[in-house]
């Protein structure tokens, strides 16, 4: 990371350049552009009416916004036909800007590294609100009593604390994983009740969790987490799916 201070007009301009961020943004842009180009090539070979073509192009634009900004698409006015080409001049501009930021602030101070840290804190706050609204579904609130509304928000806040804790644990061991993706992996572990009939007519009920797959076991090991021990019988996820519910 390189940070440079540019004082101008009684304001502070901070130029930041990150080599890692350049590589990340460039990979994201290349991936989207490659997929969009393949989709446009596929659409150009399809027999579609005008309305269907416009709908398909709109879907491609919504799915690959980074790539769409670099492609010029021209649709025929009367015929269901379109042409597309890569805007190389805009691609050069994007390549020069990837991983580089110019921040403006009125904060008094001369340490650009500290100002960059403030900016990162701002993005973390915005990410917190996105998690609360999206992943943790703090809204909409359908309660009417004030105590229940406060309880709803409090539970969402506790969930967010766990979300942040999991993100911090993932950072040194699996930085490519997000808390949401990890929770989706853990969702493969199910809690089930195994009922075993006895010869004298009784029914023994045992609570069990399905055995995690190898990938999940590796993740548990990296996070230094251990599931509680359980005696036999051990149940796999496949057995739980094929079992007959009682």
pLDDT tens sequence across 78-103: 788 899 999 999 999 999 989 888 87
C-beta of residue 11 within 8 angstroms of C-beta of residue 104: yes
Is the residue at 102 inside a domain? no
Rounded alpha-carbon distances, angstroms, from residue 20 to 17, 39, 79, 99, 111:
9, 29, 46, 8, 22
Q: Which domain holds residue 82?
A: 19-97
- Which residue, of 74, 97, 120, is where some domain finishes? 97
- Which residue, of 43, 77, 97, is where some domain finishes? 97
How far, in Å, CA of 81 to CA of 83, rounded? 7
- Kindly report, residue by residue over 125-150, the tens digit of the pLDDT: 777 777 777 767 777 777 788 888 88
Q: Are residues 45 and 66 in the same domain?
A: yes
Tokens coding 189: 């572990």
Q: Are residues 171 and 192 in the same domain?
A: no
Q: How many CB atoms lie within 10 A of CB 232?
A: 7
| Residues across the chain | 246
- Provide the pLDDT confidence category of residue 196 given band limits of 50, 70 and 90: confident
Is the residue at 216 inside a domain? yes
C-beta of residue 71 within 8 angstroms of C-beta of residue 57: no
Q: Are residues 38 and 91 in the same domain?
A: yes
Predicted local distance difference test score (pLDDT) of residue 116: 76
Q: Are residues 151 and 172 in the same domain?
A: yes
């Amino acid at each position: 990371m390189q940070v440079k201070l540019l004082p101008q007009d009684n304001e502070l301009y901070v130029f930041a350049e990150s080599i890692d961020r350049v590589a990340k943004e460039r990979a994201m842009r290349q991936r989207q552009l490659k997929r969009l180009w393949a989709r446009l090539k596929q659409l150009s070979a399809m027999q579609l009416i005008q309305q269907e073509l416009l709908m398909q192009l709109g879907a491609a634009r919504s799915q690959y916004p980074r790539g769409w900004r670099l492609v010029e698409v021209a649709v025929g006015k009367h015929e269901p036909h379109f042409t597309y080409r890569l805007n190389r001049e805009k691609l050069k501009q994007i390549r020069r800007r990837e991983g580089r930021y110019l921040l403006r602030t009125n904060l008094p101070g001369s340490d650009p590294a500290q100002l960059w840290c403030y900016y990162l804190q701002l993005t973390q706050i915005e990410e917190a609100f996105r998690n609360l609204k999206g992943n943790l579904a703090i809204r909409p609130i359908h309660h009417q009593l004030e105590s229940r509304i406060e309880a709803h928000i409090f539970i969402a806040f506790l969930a967010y604390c766990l979300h942040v804790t999991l993100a911090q644990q993932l950072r040194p061991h699996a930085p490519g994983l997000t808390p949401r993706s990890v929770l989706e992996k853990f969702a493969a572990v199910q809690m089930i009740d195994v009922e075993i009939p006895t010869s004298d007519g009784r029914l023994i009920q045992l609570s069990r969790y399905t055995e995690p797959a190898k990938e999940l076991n590796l993740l548990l090991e990296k996070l230094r987490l251990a599931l509680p021990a359980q005696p036999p019988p051990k149940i796999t996820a496949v057995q739980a799916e094929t079992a007959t519910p009682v």
